[in-house]
Amino acid sequence: MTMTNEQTAVFGGGCFWCIEAVFERLQGVTSVRSGYMGGHIDKPTYRQVCGGDTGHVEVVEVKFDPSVITFRDLLDVFFTVHDPTQLNRQGNDAGEQYRSVIFYTSEEQREQAEAAIAALDAAKVWPEPVVTAVEPASKFYVAEDYHQSYYDNNRMQPYCQFVIDPKIKKFEKKFGERMRA
């Protein structure tokens, strides 16, 4: 069901499983899909994107109700659950496909993303500057079915336990009141 005021945000911050798991838990988020954006081939596969030569980034497409949660709120969550100072990597996931990026879908989103990055750098939240790119959204390609809701479907996998669980705990600690019941 699509709401008339529903908006779309697209974020890349390492493996899409990690940020998908967090955004799926937010009040006001109506859907989250893992996929690929920003590259130069049509209909990329996971194997192709992991090869690192498609230009695509692993992203999540977040549909949200701005009367419940704002784009700025989504930015706060995004910058909390990944390290935006690492260029083309998050932890052991290395390559351009894991880069930190916000693909904006409106001029307002671009302005808010750039302002958030400037504020984080000015506040020296991290010892290094934020390298998160802010780029216009392009065609979104939905990832293969087994990537969707990966964490919820594979919680016993070591990657989920050692990489995603700590991100969810960090999210819960800071944004617990914003979680779905």
The answer to whether the beta carbons of residues 150 and 34 sit under 8 Å apart is yes
160 is catalytic: no
Q: Which amino acid is at 90?
A: Q
Taking every pair of C-alpha atoms in the chain, what is the biggest distance, in angstroms? 43
Kind of pairing, strands 100-104 and 7-13? antiparallel
CA distance 23 to 43: 24
Euclidean distance between CA atoms 53 and 137, whole angstroms:
19
Token output for 37: 């954006």
User: Of 15, 18, 50, 160, which one is the catalytic site residue?
Assistant: 15
d(CA 144, CA 127): 37
Which among 49, 66, 57 is positioned nearest to 137, based on CA atoms? 57
d(C-alpha 42, C-alpha 125), whole Å? 38
Active-site residues: which are they? 15
